[in-house]
Amino acid sequence: MSGLCGVFHGDDRPVEASELEGMVSAIGHRGPDGRGIWQKDNVGLGNVVLHTTPESLHEKLPLHDPESELTLVFDGRIDNREELIAALGIECSQGGVGIADSAIILAGYQKWREGCAEKFIGDFAFAVWDEKRRSLFCGRDHMGIKPFYYYWDGRLFVFASELKGIFALLDKKLGKKPEVNQERILDLLVFFHGDVEATFYKNIYRLPRASSLVLMADGVKVSSYWSFNPEKRIKFSSDQEYGEAFREIFMEAVRCRLRTSFPIGSTLSGGLDSSSITCVARDILQKSGTELHTFSAIFPGLRPDELKMVDERRYMDLVIEGGGIQPHFIHADKLSPLDFLYKNRHEEPMPAFNSYIHHGMYTKACDVGVRVFLDGLDGDTTVAYGADRLYDLGRYLRLPSLFREAEAYAENLGLRTSKKSVLKKYVLKPFCPDSLLKWYRICRGRRVVGELPNLQFLHDGIAASCNWQQRKGNFGVETTPLSSGRYKHYASLQTPLLQYVMELVDTVAGKLPMECRYPFWDRRLMEFCLALPMEQRLKNGVSRAIFRRAMHGIIPLEIERRMGKANLGPNFIRYMKKDAPVLLKKQLKSGSGLEDFVKAEKVIAEVGHFSSEKQTDNEGTLFYVLLALGVWLGAEEE
């Protein structure tokens, strides 16, 4: 992935080349294939470039057009190129070389100005300086796959793909980093990620996904240019037509992400999502004689009972046996999530529990020359499992259909699942008001719904100031007991957590010369899936029914019919039990700053019992968040 940066002096002081060079150097790891700066008066822009597409091999950034007096910096990839080239009426080649995505972006801005971002489909972050209008226009893609951070204090505007690019300039201007944003720390401690603009530093913000920013003399304006439409519906006359339409869109989502001049790789876990991407990509690449590299995490060192939960090697081999694949296996049981946390310092806390596995796969991919990496990340959010259809059937008292689907669903889920448990989980419980559920759990001696276990560790004053329940209602999309299954799917697609996840993933991949691409986060595919009837999601007890039907004949039949997925928790918990107690005690006693937020004695007492066999992923997650925060706070003090 590439990187961009820039600075605007509101007091009209000229930008110095050394300022831009410092910012470019700070994010240089994102673009080993080239770097450049452009400056005029009180404005300066910088770009570092990673070549991934054929068109990018001859791309020069920043891109300046003397006639229109526009200058662009860009990180990303445009997937609806043909559509845009036709709409813009631009030449499809320049000296025999295909037009670069950056030139399409610039032409789009020339024609549509502030309305251009909604026309682009792909993963992108860009900024255009318009000299004639004396304005800066910035845009970020619909899911926030490409990062964009900015600093604004009313006089100085600074932006970059990573915080370290902003810090490089502020260190020179102010002699220090901005003040830490304690409210964001509290959000982290209660697992709240609803604020899509705030960062862990005051006056530094994130441009939200599907948003644009305009900077002019009178200030900064941020606007949303696109969102999902929960009212849109798709209707075909048969299951076959639904399946064919899904297959066409999904194959295009994969195909357009294969545009590269370098070796291409894909995750292969053996699950439905990664297997579908891998098989479709393999079939397309084989037509040109290109082999696909796959990267799989395996855990041979785990105990038999742990391995049973995580082992997917059998399913991986079914895909590999189809040919056209160069497989690579990463022994993830030898990788520690805590080693990754301590050895890879970041500008913000890094509570990404499985990122150590991704880092292992990305590193291996780079070792074999892969520059484009397909990932099935969060495919089950886009292609929902469909269990909410049961809720809808109950809500509208379609009881014969409800009981029939619940029984079939329970049978498909396995021997330990009954129709009664399915109805209780997906129908009765969602109907119950929170107050009734709270009363029930108190009577049963269980933790109250809505209470987070980590609240008990916060200092009393901090816990009171969090008021996280109220803040939670100010962000994202809220659902109620009367919300339909479709609206719940809409809410899951709109959750701010997805943007946060992408920013965490970028901090891992951004350190390597590689670009990650996510077919399930193709805007066209996401819009299609949201508009589907509920019976295409769950039908005859089969979850993700349309997806399985569309992949019939493309993926192995055993994977198509597979209802479950692996649990990566055992390896995570194994290392947490081994190392977390010692590390947390050390942090809390070393003055890292973590003790300012949590009750050290209580945390030490609880983590001391962490080696117990009764501990679960929840406790491991909690202690990992505390460790991540402690590592970052300690680095801030250095």
Q: Which of 71-85, 474-488, 578-592 has the lowest mean pLDDT?
A: 474-488
Query: What tens digit of pLDDT does each residue of 116-150 get?
Result: 999 999 999 999 999 999 999 999 999 999 999 99
> Percentage of residues in the chain with pLDDT exceeding 70?
92
Find residue 372's DSSP bridge partners.
264, 515
| Residue labelled with tokens 């490089």 | 168
Q: How far is CA 81 from CA 87, 91, 105, 169, 263, in A?
A: 10, 12, 10, 35, 22
User: pLDDT class for 433, splitting at 50, 70, 90?
Assistant: low
Query: What tens digit of pLDDT does each residue of 527-584 get?
Result: 999 999 999 999 999 999 999 999 999 999 999 999 988 899 999 999 999 999 999 9
Residue 480's pLDDT is what?
A: 78
User: pLDDT class for 459, splitting at 50, 70, 90?
Assistant: confident
Q: Which of 393-407, 490-504, 523-537, 617-631 has the lowest mean pLDDT?
A: 617-631
Of residues 93 and 368, more confidently modeled = 368
Residue 473's pLDDT is what?
A: 59
Q: Which helix (H) or strand (E) holds 437?
A: helix 434-443
User: pLDDT class for 95, splitting at 50, 70, 90?
Assistant: very low
What is d(CA 373, CA 631) in angstroms, rounded to the nearest whole number?
29
User: pLDDT class for 448, splitting at 50, 70, 90?
Assistant: very low
Q: Which of 150-164, 219-233, 447-461 has the lowest mean pLDDT?
A: 447-461
Q: Which helix (H) or strand (E) holds 325?
A: strand 325-331
Residue 139's pLDDT is what?
A: 98
Given a contact cutoff of 8 angstroms between Cβ atoms, the answer to whether 44 and 7 are in contact is: yes
**DSSP string over 367-430:** HTT--EEE--TTHHHHS---THHHHHHHHTT-HHHHHHHHHHHHHHH-TT--HHHHHIIIIIHH
> Is residue 260 classed as helix, strand or coil in its secondary structure?
coil
> For residues 30-59, b (16+ Cβ closer than 10 Å) or e, as one string?
bbeeebbbbbeeebbbbbbbbbbbebbeeb
- The closest of 474, 519, 505, 488 to 196, measured between CA atoms, is 474
- Average pLDDT of the residues in 209-236: 95
Query: What tens digit of pLDDT does each residue of 496-525 get?
Result: 989 999 999 998 998 899 999 999 999 999
Residue 622's pLDDT is what?
A: 87
Residue 452's pLDDT is what?
A: 54
Residue 170 pLDDT > 60:
yes
Residue 104 pLDDT > 70:
yes
What residue type is assigned to position 547 of the chain? F
What is d(CA 449, CA 433) in angstroms, rounded to the nearest whole number?
11
Angle made by CA atoms 475, 480, 485, in degrees to the nearest 5: 100
Mean pLDDT for all residues in the chain: 91
The residue count for the chain: 638
Helix 272-286 with 239-255: angle, nearest 10 deg: 70
User: pLDDT class for 491, splitting at 50, 70, 90?
Assistant: very high
What is d(CA 599, CA 434) in angstroms, rounded to the nearest whole number?
29
Q: In what order do the strands lie in the sheet with 372-374?
A: 325-331, 292-298, 264-267, 372-374, 515-517
End-to-end CA distance of the chain: 30
What is d(CA 387, CA 275) in angstroms, rounded to the nearest whole number?
22
Q: Please give the structure tokens belonging to residue 535.
A: 């019976």
What is d(CA 523, CA 11) in angstroms, rounded to the nearest whole number?
40
User: pLDDT class for 450, splitting at 50, 70, 90?
Assistant: very low
Count CB neighbours of 29 within 10 A. 16
**Residue 116 DSSP symbol:** S
Q: Please give the structure tokens belonging to residue 599.
A: 């009750």
Residue 214 pLDDT > 80:
yes
Given a contact cutoff of 8 angstroms between Cβ atoms, the answer to whether 212 and 115 are in contact is: no
Of residues 222 and 94, more confidently modeled = 222
Query: What tens digit of pLDDT does each residue of 373-399 get?
Result: 999 999 999 999 999 999 999 999 999
User: pLDDT class for 10, splitting at 50, 70, 90?
Assistant: very high
Q: Please give the structure tokens belonging to residue 581.
A: 């107690």
- Average pLDDT of the residues in 338-344: 89
